[in-house]
Structure 1
Amino acid sequence: MTKQALILFAHGARAASWAAPFERLRDLTRTRLPEVRVELAFLELMEPRLPEMVADMATQGIADVTVVPVFLGQGGHVLRALPLMVEQLRIDHPQLSFKVVGAAGEDPAVLNALTDYCVNSL
């Protein structure tokens, strides 16, 4: 059984179709990391929410959790809401080790891929 987990953390929306690209991202990531449990969790408006996802992982023997905010920038949700949530998760699940990386859109490779997409749109 895997001891590592990667949670793709997205905002959430009222329209179910909004989650489709994030679900594809999750599936593509799973394919590249078969030894890691890869899941998608949401801040609000959609399920599963991050606390419920982590609680499930804790019961499944996961030891290390990495949270990847799939946001374009480090706005209030990433700078304020996420750290508070992870702080509470550390209290609720002291047996788990948490790592939170920066917003996906701030990574140079992601920005280059988005630039390529924009340029190729002409």
Structure 2
Amino acid sequence: MKALLIIAHGSRRQASNDEVKKIATQIREHGQHDFDIVESAFLELASPLIPEGIEHCVKSGAKQIVVSPYFLNSGKHVTEDIPEIIAEVKAAHPDIIIEVTPHVGSSPIMLDLILKTASGS
């Protein structure tokens, strides 16, 4: 089974965390993807944290987990913190394939998204 784990920073504002959870739900319900499991997790300030999110995917039967950092910029969290957490979790689950995608903000479609949003379309 293949899982997608969307990870965000986490916020003291619950509504912000709920937005990330809603994205995971919408992707899960979308159906036009090759993931059996779609979940969300957070770096800090919210639950579940990244290791807990990965554990949930593993307990749900995932043999491969694609971690997608829902971050706009490649700051310390993206370049250092997340890779360190993933390395620790990989060590605990050597039989599970865990890969991290580039952060969302680095996507080439981001330019089109910004322009469409700015033009109101």
Structure-2-length-normalised TM-score = 0.89
Q: Which ranges of structure 2 fall in alignment gaps of 5 or more residues?
A: none
Deviations 1:14-72 (A, max 9, x none): 01011232122112211234752000100000000010111222233210000000111
Matched-pair identity in %: 28
Query: Equivalents in 1 of 2:54, 2:5: separation in Å?
Result: 9
Provide the residue aligned with 2:111 in structure 1.
111
Query: Equivalents in 2 of 1:53, 1:22: separation in Å?
Result: 13
**CA apart distance, 1:92:** 0.8
Provide the residue aligned with 2:20 in structure 1.
22
Provide the residue aligned with 2:61 in structure 1.
61
User: Is the Cα–Cα contact under 8 Å of residues 78 and 103 in structure 1 kept in the other structure?
Assistant: yes
Could you say if the C-alpha distance between residues 21 and 56 of structure 1 is closer, same or farther in structure 2, counting changes exceeding 3 Å? closer
Query: Equivalents in 1 of 2:79, 2:41: separation in Å?
Result: 17
Query: Equivalents in 1 of 2:22, 2:57: separation in Å?
Result: 21
**CA apart distance, 1:77:** 0.3
Provide the residue aligned with 2:52 in structure 1.
52
Counterparts of 1:1-122 in structure 2, within 5 Å, are 3-33=1-31, 35-120=35-120
RMSD of Structure 2 on Structure 1 (CA): 1.7
Query: Equivalents in 2 of 1:89, 1:9: separation in Å?
Result: 14
Query: Equivalents in 1 of 2:43, 2:91: separation in Å?
Result: 19
